[in-house]
Structure 1
C-alpha cells in the first residue's frame, strides 16, 4: 500500500520500503550533477578572484604605508596564493588521520596499521612544528622562545601526536568495539584540545601576516635592502644594520637591475622602518 501523505511505499506492517520524495531528489541530483558542479566551480573561482583582489589591494596599501613607497610596486597575489595553499594543506593534514583510519578498515592489515600509525605521528609532529614556529616568532622574550622551542615543542606535542594517532589509528583498528574509559576520554580530549589550539593559532598567525611582521630581507652592496620586484628590477631601500636589527630609511628607494650584484639574505630579530 501507499501512504498518500508522506508519499512513501510501505508494506502491510507500515514499514517504509521506498520513498518517492527521496527518489526524486536523487534523480534531480543525477540529472543535474554537471550543472551543479560547473556552477559551483564558476562561483568558487569568482569568489577566489574577488578575495585575491581585496587582499592584494590591502597588501599594496599596507606596504606603501610601512615603507613609504608607492603601492604600485607591491603585488599581493603571491602572498594570497601562499595563504590559500597553506589553508588547503592545513585542512588536508587535519583530515588525513581519519582517512588513514578508514583505509585501515578496508585493508585489514596489522602491518599497514602500524605503518600508518608511524607516518601519522611523523606528519602531525612536523605539522605542529610548523605552527609552533609561527607562534615562537611573535614571542618577545628570548628565554620563553628558547623554552618552547627546546622543550615544549618536542615534549608536549610529540606526546599529543602519539596519543591522537593511537586513538584514531591503533585503538580504532584493534579495539574498535571496546568502550572508552573515563580516563581515556579525558586524555584524548586534552590531546585534541592542545592540537586544535596549536593548529588554530598557527593558521591565524599565518593568515593575519602583515608586512610589518616580515623579518627576512635580502641586502645588496652599500646597505640597500630589497623590498620588492617591479618590471624586472629590484625595488631597494637604504638601510642600516645594527647587530640583529635592520633599520630601513622610510620613503627612500630606487629601482636597480637584478644582474651583477651580490646579495646577502638574513633573518633579523627586529625590523624598523623610519
Structure 2
C-alpha cells in the first residue's frame, strides 16, 4: 500500500493515499470523522474527466498512522505538504470537504500557492464554526461541548447516530441508504479515539477569518442550504464574502453530506470548475 512519511512531524506520521489517473493533480481531503473512502462518488468522475486524483487519509483516520499528537491544523497541513512535495506535484487543485477546508486554508497560509492552481471548499467549516458575538450564526458552545462529552463517554454510540444528521437522513431516505450509514459508522469507529476528539477540537475552535486573505487563487465554494451540521450562514456564505476570487454554488435542499446525497450535482459543479 502507498504511504508517504511526514519526516518533519514531531512523531513519525505515515499517510496512506490512493493515486489514480493522469493530468492535472486534484487532491481530495476528507471530512470528519471519515476517511478518503468518503470520496467514492467523486474519484471515478475526476479520473474519467482526465485528471489525476489523489485521495488520502488524515492522520489518525483510515489507514494512516495514529500518533498521539498533534492534531492542530498546522500539523494536518504539514501532512498535506509532505504529499505534495514527495509526489512533486505542481499546478494542484486542493479540494477540502467539511473540516478538510481547514487544511486547504492553513496550507495556503503556511506554504503559499507556488504549487497550487485552484482550491475548492465543499460543505466546508471555513471560516468559523463556533458561535461568537461577532459570529451569531455559528454553533453554540454548549452544543460543541456536548459533542466532545459524547465522544469521551461513548464515542461509538455517538458516531452511530452522527451520520443521520450528516445526511438529514429522515428527509433523504431516497438518496442515502441505511447501508451507507452503516458503512460510515464502520469507517468512523475504526479511527483513532484520540484523533477523533483532537481533530474535532481543531475544527470547533480554529478561527480562519484572518487567513481568508491567503486564499488568493480561484476558489470554488459549494454548500447545501439544508446543512444542519455546518450551517451555511457561518460557513459557505461567510467564505464567499471573505474570499476575493470565488465561485459560490448553493445546492438547494442539500445536507452536509451532499457528496453522497447530491453527488451528480456536486460532480457537475466540480468538473466544470476544474475545466475552467
Greater helix proportion: 1
* TM-score, structure 1 normalization: 0.21
Higher relative contact order (CA 8 A, sep 6+): 2
Structure having the higher Rg: 1
